[in-house]
Amino acid sequence: MVVQQKRSIACSTYCLVILFAVVLLVAASAMKGRLKESSPVPVEGVLQLGDWNLQEDGRVSLSGEWTFYWNRLLTSDDFLTDESKPGAGSIVRVPQAWSQSKLDGLKPGRKGYATYRLQIQLQTASDVLALKIPVLPTAYEVMANGKTIAEAGNVSVREENAVAAYHPQTVFFKPQSTMLDLIVHISNYTERDGGMVEGFELGSSDNMRMLREQELAGTMFFLGSAIMISLYYFYTWIVYGFVPAALYYSLLCMLAAVRMLVIDHMFILQLVPGLSVGWLTFLDSLSLYGGIAIAILFIHQLFPNEFNRSIMKALTWVGMLFNLTLVAGALHLNPAIRMAFYVYIGAAGSYMLFMLMHAIRSGREGAMARLTGLLICVMALTHDYLLNYQMNILFNKPIMYYVIFLLIFMEMIDFSKRFLKPRLPRRIRSPDEPSSARETVTEETAAKPNKEAMELAATKSEQGSSSALHILAVDEDSCWLRLIHDTLTDERYKVASVMNGAEALAHIDHSRRLDIVLLNGSVSGMSGIELVRRIRSRYSHVELPIVMMSFKEGMMDIREGFQAGVNDFLLKPFHAQELQARIDMYLEMKQLAESAATSEIAMLQAEIKPHFLYNTLNTALSLTLEEPQKAHDLLLKLSYYLRNSIQMKHTSKFIGLSEEIELVKSYLFIEKARFGHRLHIEYDIDDSLDITVPPLIIQPIMENAVKHGVTQKMEGGKVKLTARADNGYLIIIVEDNGAGMAIERVETLLHSDNKSGGMALINIHQRLLLIYGQGLSIWSELGQGTKVEIRIPEPGMDWT
């Protein structure tokens, strides 16, 4: 129920975030100002605006059909007389790279120069107009009726004289007549695509000035937000113990801010006037290459146990290699490297998409939010790509950096929940010590070597109650360490915490007492499996139980953990009661093993087999995610079963019948969880019985009925426990309809010289003979089942 509630709350949160994202995108589009769909478009080099008022009807896009002259730089004067007319020219679409145009079978190359011409019929010539020129990664010159109104770099017919420039701008001019002759000169010798690769816009001076101010305000808002978030999380990285995820998130936000400055309107040129083309392209590529590499590192930090570490390392190193091309001059502009980078993005994105879907199926917290963000990115990239081809889509402007801001906002919500908890001090301490004691440890150990600090902290943590359970939690995530401390607040527990493998081994070496280790699957300095192997080289499974906490649930990982020496797995996220039940159960197991080692009759009274424990724990593990309450109940029953099995050997010679029956019921509850519908249980018990019996005389018989009886059949079967009074006797019957035994096997089963098994039954039989003078009675038929009867005289009867 708790897990379902958490998932419901998380789902609602993500829906609200997505709704906010949609609203913000719509607001951003409104702030940018949509062009009217009914506005005129250029056709065959002419734009008719005779019926369009730029002041009242709004601005228009100049994207459409322009007249194009390849390898010629023409002016308005060249079109005045018939003798100097250059000819009809070619009709090309704008925006579009000239290398994608075909001119009477001739395809322009990447390098060259050209003239674009558009004739515009205006409604009036009395208004001041504004022309918005987007980012053109080449040199250009714009003329209106023969007068230059804007230029960037130096347009030239010779490569050595041409100077490229990135200079988006909005220029204001007053047309000389209602016929506006707009000519654009462009030369390109550096970029992959030359020509008018972005569309111009024309409008009234008032509307265009307002649009410019709105665009600047919107960009500054997003820029300021990204920088503030970046600085905040950089501070968080320092204060919260250098959590790598905080540093990666800070760098991502800063690169997002850089990208906002260098794309679209290039507002960085207003902050740093005269910035060279080389620096602009460097910053553009750095924000792209570096952003992808750091995003991979960040995702790996969020799901360290979900993604394959080797694959993530390979993707990270490849990303770093692309960043190294930025140092090698203009190598990053090479088309082959660009294409390789796009392939890299596709491969990395596909892998992360696949693993995030797997994480969602596994119920990993935050996986849905990351998948949603990834899909939003894909949609934004698709939108901006289609926008370049003037397709009719939702927004008329690129939205990628708005999406980047939204992802920053979404990530901030989840990141804060995961990492920004009150951090644990870097010194080892117990959460239930008084604050003064904690401060004393810190002050005394501040100037001492790590070894002395470790010994002092361990000594002080043991000065409380000698009966406290000492637990070591090892996790590189301070949030999970805090969760463990907050969960184990009972005075019975003393918890020490470390964040890497070396500190864990040092603490184990210097601790005078340690009962259990809670270990994350991934720790700093070494893998969780390697740490387990090093602990197991010093301590056995019984001496120091290890419970590994992990987000993974694959059988390969569980098998590797058990082979290394893990006692049990605890899947994250886990329930507080489940963690406590697991700890209590293993501590009971440890005490049981220690007691058995010092008692000659321990195994005669309680035969607890390792395979039974492992099978029960595996059953609980399989129920953890889907049915946590059932897993919790199962572990509690196992804890009760182990605890009472231990206690029975410390009691007198007899115990109450009700105690013995409760132990049997706990055992059957565990087996029912394992075998499900294959095991049917029936009780016929007289609750009025008030009699004492020797301990552990029913449970081993019931265990045989389950293990060697009903579970030997594919379809399973039924076990029945009967307890009633009959003519001065307590009659206890354990029967099943399982595999049964041959008559020869029954006749030799209780013989003391039997070496083929059944030692538990022999032990019970001999104890009953010793106390009451009569032992077990067994009836069995092969394939039909087995019945075992115990007859105990009621008090006052002659036992002999």
The answer on pLDDT for 464 being more than 50 is: no
* pLDDT number for residue 788: 93
Q: Are residues 692 and 781 in the same domain?
A: yes
* pLDDT number for residue 790: 93
673-696, pLDDT tens digit by residue? 888 888 999 999 988 888 888 888
147-152 and 139-144 beta bridge pairing: antiparallel
Among residues 379, 380, 251, 244, the alpha carbon closest in space to that of 302 is found at 244
Q: Are residues 185 and 238 in the same domain?
A: no
Q: Are residues 125 and 250 in the same domain?
A: no
- CB 364, CB 303: distance < 8 Å: yes
Spatial separation of the C-alpha atoms in residues 341 and 261, rounded to whole Å: 22
Per DSSP, the three-state class of 739 is: coil
* pLDDT number for residue 461: 42
Which residue, of 171, 199, 227, is where some domain finishes? 199
The tokens describing 617, both together, are 């724990």
Strand partners, 518: 473, 547
> What does the mean pLDDT of the chain come to?
75
Which residue, of 402, 419, 436, is where some domain finishes? 419
Q: Are residues 408 and 480 in the same domain?
A: no
* pLDDT number for residue 753: 62
The tokens describing 542, both together, are 């019984």
The tokens describing 115, both together, are 């003239």
Q: Are residues 15 and 97 in the same domain?
A: no
C-alpha distances in Å from residue 470, one per residue of 488, 494, 496, 617, 676: 11, 5, 8, 22, 36
The answer on pLDDT for 188 being more than 80 is: yes
Q: Are residues 449 and 548 in the same domain?
A: yes
Spatial separation of the C-alpha atoms in residues 425 and 93, rounded to whole Å: 64
The length of the chain is 800
Highest mean pLDDT among 197-201, 492-496, 717-721, 743-747: 717-721
Mean pLDDT value of segment 494-512: 83
- Residue 193's CB is within 10 A of a number of other CB atoms, namely 14
Look at residue 58 and tell me if it is in a domain: yes
Look at residue 464 and tell me if it is in a domain: yes
Q: Are residues 449 and 403 in the same domain?
A: no
> Is residue 129 very low, low, confident or very high in pLDDT (cuts 50, 70, 90)?
very high
* pLDDT number for residue 396: 62
Spatial separation of the C-alpha atoms in residues 693 and 782, rounded to whole Å: 31
The helix-helix angle for 400-419 and 244-262 (nearest 10°) equals: 160
Spatial separation of the C-alpha atoms in residues 508 and 478, rounded to whole Å: 20
Per DSSP, the three-state class of 366 is: coil
* pLDDT number for residue 117: 93
Highest mean pLDDT among 80-94, 261-275, 441-455, 532-546: 532-546
More confident site: 598 or 549: 549
Q: Are residues 298 and 242 in the same domain?
A: yes
Mean pLDDT value of segment 593-608: 46
Look at residue 604 and tell me if it is in a domain: no
- CB 721, CB 667: distance < 8 Å: no
The total domain count for the chain is 4
Mean pLDDT value of segment 431-446: 34
Q: Largest Cα–Cα distance of the chain, in whole Å?
A: 141
Q: Which CATH number do you get for residue 724?
A: 3.30.565.10
The answer on pLDDT for 456 being more than 50 is: no
Q: Which CATH number do you get for residue 108?
A: 2.60.120.260
Mean pLDDT value of segment 614-638: 68
Look at residue 605 and tell me if it is in a domain: no
- Residue 555's CB is within 10 A of a number of other CB atoms, namely 8
Q: Are residues 226 and 152 in the same domain?
A: no
Q: Are residues 483 and 548 in the same domain?
A: yes
> Is residue 150 very low, low, confident or very high in pLDDT (cuts 50, 70, 90)?
very high
Q: Choose the weakest-confidence range: 65-74, 168-177, 545-554.
A: 545-554
Output 768-776 pairs: Cβ under 8 A, ≥24 positions apart.
768/694, 768/697, 768/792, 771/694, 771/799, 772/799, 773/799, 773/800, 775/750, 776/701, 776/750
* pLDDT number for residue 773: 67
The percent of residues in the chain predicted with pLDDT above 70, rounded, is: 71
More confident site: 656 or 18: 656
* pLDDT number for residue 800: 40
The answer on pLDDT for 16 being more than 60 is: no
The answer on pLDDT for 597 being more than 50 is: no
Strand spans (E) along 122-264? 129-133, 139-144, 147-152, 169-173, 179-188, 201-204
Mean pLDDT value of segment 356-379: 75
Mean pLDDT value of segment 706-723: 90
* pLDDT number for residue 535: 86
Mean pLDDT value of segment 189-194: 82
Which residue, of 573, 597, 621, is where some domain finishes? 573
The answer on pLDDT for 311 being more than 70 is: yes
Q: Are residues 296 and 184 in the same domain?
A: no
* pLDDT number for residue 798: 43
725-773, pLDDT tens digit by residue? 988 889 999 999 998 888 888 877 877 666 555 677 887 887 787 677 6
Look at residue 455 and tell me if it is in a domain: yes
The answer on pLDDT for 4 being more than 50 is: no
Mean pLDDT value of segment 340-350: 82
The answer on pLDDT for 47 being more than 90 is: yes
620-631, pLDDT tens digit by residue? 666 666 677 777
* pLDDT number for residue 408: 72
Q: Are residues 152 and 287 in the same domain?
A: no
The model scores a pTM over 0.85: no
The answer on pLDDT for 428 being more than 50 is: no
Q: Choose the weakest-confidence range: 15-29, 437-451, 557-571.
A: 437-451
* pLDDT number for residue 202: 93
The answer on pLDDT for 143 being more than 90 is: yes
Look at residue 125 and tell me if it is in a domain: yes
- CB 778, CB 786: distance < 8 Å: yes
The tokens describing 238, both together, are 């320092």
> Is residue 448 very low, low, confident or very high in pLDDT (cuts 50, 70, 90)?
very low
> Is residue 190 very low, low, confident or very high in pLDDT (cuts 50, 70, 90)?
confident
Q: Choose the weakest-confidence range: 426-435, 592-601, 625-634.
A: 426-435
Backbone angles phi, psi at 790, to 5 degrees: -120, 130
| Centroid of chain to Cα 35 | 41
> Is residue 62 very low, low, confident or very high in pLDDT (cuts 50, 70, 90)?
very high
Look at residue 584 and tell me if it is in a domain: no
* pLDDT number for residue 414: 65
Q: 3-state SS of 638-662? A: HHHHHHHHHHHCCCCCCEEHHHHHH
Backbone angles phi, psi at 719, to 5 degrees: -115, 145
Per DSSP, the three-state class of 126 is: coil
| Centroid of chain to Cα 435 | 35
* pLDDT number for residue 365: 66
- CB 153, CB 139: distance < 8 Å: yes
Strand partners, 609: none
Give the domain range for residue 286. Answer: 2-32+216-419
Strand spans (E) along 253-323? none
171-183, pLDDT tens digit by residue? 999 998 899 999 9
> Is residue 602 very low, low, confident or very high in pLDDT (cuts 50, 70, 90)?
very low
- CB 219, CB 263: distance < 8 Å: no
- CB 713, CB 683: distance < 8 Å: no
Q: Which CATH number do you get for residue 407?
A: 1.20.1070
Look at residue 415 and tell me if it is in a domain: yes
The answer on pLDDT for 352 being more than 90 is: no
Mean pLDDT value of segment 690-711: 87
- Residue given tokens 């009675």 in the structure block: 777
